Structure 1
Amino acid sequence: MKIFIIIGAINAFLAVALGAFGAHGLEGKLEPKYLEVWKTGVTYQMFHALGLIAIGIIGRNIPVSSLLSWSGWTMLIGIILFSGSLYILSTSGIKILGAITPFGGIAFLISWVLLIVFAVKHL
């Protein structure tokens, strides 16, 4: 479960860096609507980075559970698909990338449901 703390911390670092880049490096270079898209990606990345860290902490004192592990991996997939597609969409303007974003949202939802099921069964 240590891997989820590490992955979560890396994603939290990236969310801060990408947030700062958006605020200082992209302001005035992107249309306001695309800057908001960028901010949405940063926000969701940070929330789910914290979710990954929580999964790692929860799993430290509990025997390895596939539910908890899958929750972490689907959360990471959600960050990549959701936030990643929003970052690329906002900087490229390629609207078809918006079709990928919901798959990331679904991955987020699945990860939280898996965490709920894990908690009901093991905590």
Structure 2
Amino acid sequence: MNKTILITGLVFGLLAVVLGAFGAHGLKRVIGPDEINTFETGIKYQMYHALFLILLSMLPNISNGTRNTVFYLVFAGVVLFSGSIYFLATNALTAFDFKKIGFITPIGGTLLIAAWGYLIFSVLTKK
């Protein structure tokens, strides 16, 4: 078990629940339904990858190099993908136009895809 990866997954999960509650109870009064749906997309992907990190921390027969590479890809992917979605969904509440940095959302998504792909490749090529 890798404690750092496990704790990161647990923290991502906790934050997804907190942000989900905030979105459901606090944001519904100040942003529209489309923005709420966008915000919830960020939460879903954050939670999926929190669970992925928890599983990754305990997977047997995965090298430390593979485990660390997947971890860093997921960590960066969640921060960029879900983080940018949270800011884009709440854009109307701030003076800064987060649409200017919207290009980081697909970068985050690409990192998440790369993490899954790298793990699949590592499992398939392991002797």
* TM-score normalised over the length of structure 1: 0.90
In structure 1, the residue matched to 2:10 is 9
Structure 2, unaligned runs of 5 or more: 93-97
- How far does residue 34 in structure 1 lie from its aligned partner after superposition? 1.1
1:117 deviates by 1.7
Amino acid aligned to 2:68 = S
1:86, 1:101 within 8 Å by CA — same for their partners in 2?
A: yes
Match of 1:76 in 2: 75
What are the within-5 Å matches in structure 2 for residues 96-111 of structure 1? Answer: 96-111=100-115
1:121 aligns with 2:121: no
Q: CA deviation at 1:63?
A: 6.7
DSSP 3-state at the match of 2:31: coil
1: distance between equivalents of 2:3 and 2:122? Answer: 18
CA distance, structure 2, for counterparts of residue 32 and residue 67 of structure 1: 40
Q: Structure 1: how far apart are the matches of 2:54 and 2:34?
A: 31
**Contact 1:12-1:46 within 8 A present in 2 as well:** yes
TM-score w.r.t. structure 2 length? Answer: 0.88
1:75 corresponds to which letter in structure 2? V
Q: Which amino acid aligns with 2:10?
A: A
1:65/1:118 Cα in 2 relative to 1: closer, same or farther (>3 Å)? Answer: farther
| 2:85 aligned partner | 86
Report the Cα offset of residue 64 of structure 1.
Answer: 3.9
In the alignment, residue 80 of structure 1 is paired with which amino acid? V
The one-letter amino acid of 2:110's match is I
Contact 1:67 1:117 in 2 (8 A): no
Structure 2 partner of 1:42: 43
Aligned partners of 1:83 and 1:101 also within 8 Å? yes
Give the structure 1 partner of residue 95 of structure 2.
Answer: none
Matched residue type, 1:45: Q
Query: Given residue 30 of structure 2, which amino acid in structure 1 is its aligned partner?
Result: K
Aligned-partner Cα distance in 1 for 2:36–2:43: 11
Q: How many residues align?
A: 121
Query: In 2 relative to 1, CA 29–42 (structure 1 residues): closer, same or farther, beyond 3 Å?
Result: same
RMSD: 1.6
